[in-house]
């Protein structure tokens, strides 16, 4: 029985949507709103999801394969299925946060992506999952960035994910919820009206001793770690990077390097030029420029242009194993999930994240079965009916 859901006879949920429903019941409204909202009118996060529904499968009636192989590698790391955890900031919707997510990913044989803005230090997360990729934003001085990379490398991070796109978000039509900088007694007091409505959530924090909500992975060599909003302020005051800066970042890291946030073909080609090992076709879950097309619409052109030169992943709108199959059929090596596992975390902690990963695995396996394949490597455009006008080709002469 779930520790924090005693009235739920079966803590297992059968869909990611059910995880979202349970998270909504467990989390304070302001915390839940921070998870679901996108920038401005919120069109892009909706399109990220809806676009998958426009793609139709073309299944077989017989000749199905009795066993199916879902395993692959991402930047040389073996994974049990082509799904990894996308880095998201401040996963403190439960006190165990990123450590719980990392353990869940390790238990399901996949990679943990850890944000610079995480609520848990990289050392603890790598200890929970040896296959952790560390995400870097372009924030602060180059010396500070080198120090952060050195720390992540020393902790055992297997790759660096460079993200440069979130700074474009400028507001939400429905308002941005107030999130406390530190989960202390003062913050709890301010959230009393919400806390009373969400007693199980309040108890989790009280039982955990009200742990700090700083950004430990941005801690300087001397002095305390900044608060989340202090770190955000540093980021906003840092001049945005050039392509030369991104290449410098790759060289300073020296290991496997992924550039996240690519949505245009010309940017994908520049990522090849600077020596990136992988890119993530991503619009930051709709928290970037609103009305940017869904990532699955932009994936095929990017995969065709550079898929033989680096690994192409997709991030955005994945809610089902069938979505994973569609992304692979259109050229992705793997997908990265964000909100889906956060809802699992909110619904049932580490077990909830494992539940989400299990659902994606089951759905992907079902798609392979119906399509008559024995391996994810066999997925192709022939498995899909793609409606006219579905794809978007950005950043080419034919655009």
pLDDT digits (tens, 9 = 90+) for 241-276: 999 999 999 999 999 999 999 999 999 999 999 999
Alpha-helix residue ranges (DSSP H) falling in the chain: 16-26, 29-36, 43-54, 97-107, 122-128, 142-155, 185-190, 192-197, 199-207, 228-236, 243-253, 265-273, 295-306, 321-329, 339-371
What is the average pLDDT across 311-335? 98
What is the average pLDDT across 14-29? 92
What is the average pLDDT across 321-331? 98
In a domain, 396, yes or no: no
CB 368 within 8 A of CB 325: yes
In this predicted structure, which of 239-243, 365-369, 387-391 has the lowest mean pLDDT?
239-243
In a domain, 45, yes or no: yes
Number of domains within the chain: 1
CA 144, CA 397: separation in Å to the nearest integer? 39
User: In this predicted structure, what is the pLDDT of residue 272?
Assistant: 98
The pLDDT-based confidence of 176 (bands split at 50, 70, 90) is: low
User: In this predicted structure, what is the pLDDT of residue 42?
Assistant: 85
The pLDDT-based confidence of 210 (bands split at 50, 70, 90) is: low
C-alpha distances in Å from residue 266, one per residue of 172, 182, 211, 304, 398: 29, 41, 44, 12, 12
User: In this predicted structure, what is the pLDDT of residue 294?
Assistant: 97
User: Across the strands, what pairs with 376?
Assistant: none
User: In this predicted structure, what is the pLDDT of residue 89?
Assistant: 82
Residue 183 has pLDDT above 80, yes or no: no
User: In this predicted structure, what is the pLDDT of residue 5?
Assistant: 47
What is the average pLDDT across 221-246? 85
CB 101 within 8 A of CB 341: yes
Beta strand pairing status for 77-79 and 72-74? antiparallel
User: In this predicted structure, what is the pLDDT of residue 1?
Assistant: 38
Top mean pLDDT of 8-17, 20-29, 36-45, 144-153 is at: 144-153
User: In this predicted structure, what is the pLDDT of residue 125?
Assistant: 98
Residue 179 has pLDDT above 90, yes or no: no
pLDDT of 39-89, one tens digit each?
Answer: 888 899 999 999 999 999 999 999 999 999 999 999 999 999 999 999 998
In a domain, 90, yes or no: yes
CATH code assigned at 353: 3.20.20.70
What is the average pLDDT across 322-329? 98
In this predicted structure, which of 127-141, 149-163, 242-256, 280-294 has the lowest mean pLDDT?
280-294
Which of 60, 64, 284, 373 is catalytic? The answer is: 284
Residue 201 has pLDDT above 80, yes or no: no
Residue 398 has pLDDT above 60, yes or no: no
In a domain, 133, yes or no: yes
DSSP state, residue 313: E
The pLDDT-based confidence of 347 (bands split at 50, 70, 90) is: very high
- CA torsion sign for 245, 249, 250, 254 is positive
In a domain, 105, yes or no: yes
Domain enclosing residue 28, as ranges: 16-385
User: In this predicted structure, what is the pLDDT of residue 223?
Assistant: 86
In a domain, 11, yes or no: no
Return the ∠ at Cα 115 (arms to 112 and 118), rounded to 5°.
Answer: 105
In a domain, 398, yes or no: no
In a domain, 390, yes or no: no
User: In this predicted structure, what is the pLDDT of residue 195?
Assistant: 66
Q: Which burial class, exposed, middle or buried, applies to 231 when counting CB atoms under 10 A from its CB (0-12, 13-18, 19+)?
A: buried
Q: Could you confirm whether 284 is annotated as catalytic?
A: yes
Q: Count of CB atoms within 10 A of residue 396's CB?
A: 12
Secondary structure class of 376 (helix, strand, coil):
helix
In this predicted structure, which of 95-104, 162-171, 172-181, 319-328 has the lowest mean pLDDT?
172-181
Give the helix/strand (H/E) hosting 135.
Answer: strand 132-137
Residue 159 has pLDDT above 80, yes or no: yes
């Amino acid at each position: 029985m779930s520790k924090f859901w005693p009235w739920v006879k079966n803590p297992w949920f059968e869909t990611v949507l059910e995880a979202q429903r349970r998270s909504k019941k467990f989390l304070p409204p302001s915390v839940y709103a921070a998870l679901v909202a996108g920038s401005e009118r919120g069109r892009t996060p909706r399109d990220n999801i809806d676009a998958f529904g426009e793609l139709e499968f073309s299944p077989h009636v017989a000749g199905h394969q009795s066993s199916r192989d879902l395993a692959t590698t991402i930047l040389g790391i073996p994974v049990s299925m082509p799904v990894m955890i996308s880095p998201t900031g401040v996963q403190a919707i439960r006190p165990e946060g990123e450590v719980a997510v990392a353990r869940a990913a390790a238990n399901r044989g996949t990679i943990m992506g850890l944000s610079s803005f995480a609520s848990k230090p990289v050392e603890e997360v790598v200890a929970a999952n040896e296959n952790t990729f560390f995400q870097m934003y372009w924030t602060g001085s180059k010396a500070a960035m080198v120090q952060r990379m050195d720390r992540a490398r020393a902790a055992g991070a297997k790759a660096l994910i460079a993200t440069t796109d979130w700074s474009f978000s400028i507001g939400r039509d429905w308002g941005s919820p107030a999130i406390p900088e530190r989960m202390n007694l003062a913050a709890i007091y301010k959230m009393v009206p919400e806390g009373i409505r969400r007693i199980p959530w309040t108890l989790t924090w009280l039982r955990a001793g009200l742990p700090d909500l700083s950004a430990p992975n941005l801690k300087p060599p001397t002095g305390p770690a900044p608060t989340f909003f202090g770190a955000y302020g540093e980021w906003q005051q840092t001049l945005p990077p050039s392509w030369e800066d991104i290449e410098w970042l790759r060289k300073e890291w020296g290991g496997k390097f992924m550039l996240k946030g690519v949505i245009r073909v010309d940017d994908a080609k520049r990522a090849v030029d600077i020596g990136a090992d992988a890119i993530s076709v991503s619009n930051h879950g709709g928290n970037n420029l609103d009305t940017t097309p869904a990532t699955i619409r932009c994936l095929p052109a990017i995969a065709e242009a550079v898929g033989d030169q680096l690994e192409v992943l997709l991030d955005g709108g994945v809610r089902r194993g069938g979505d994973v199959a569609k992304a692979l059929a259109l050229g992705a090596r793997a997908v990265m999930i964000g909100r889906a596992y956060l809802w699992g975390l909110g619904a049932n902690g580490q077990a909830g994240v494992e539940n989400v990963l299990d659902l994606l695995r089951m759905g992907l396996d079902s798609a392979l079965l119906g399509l008559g394949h024995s391996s994810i490597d066999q997925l192709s455009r022939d498995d899909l009916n793609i409606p006219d006008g579905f794809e978007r080709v950005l950043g080419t002469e034919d655009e």
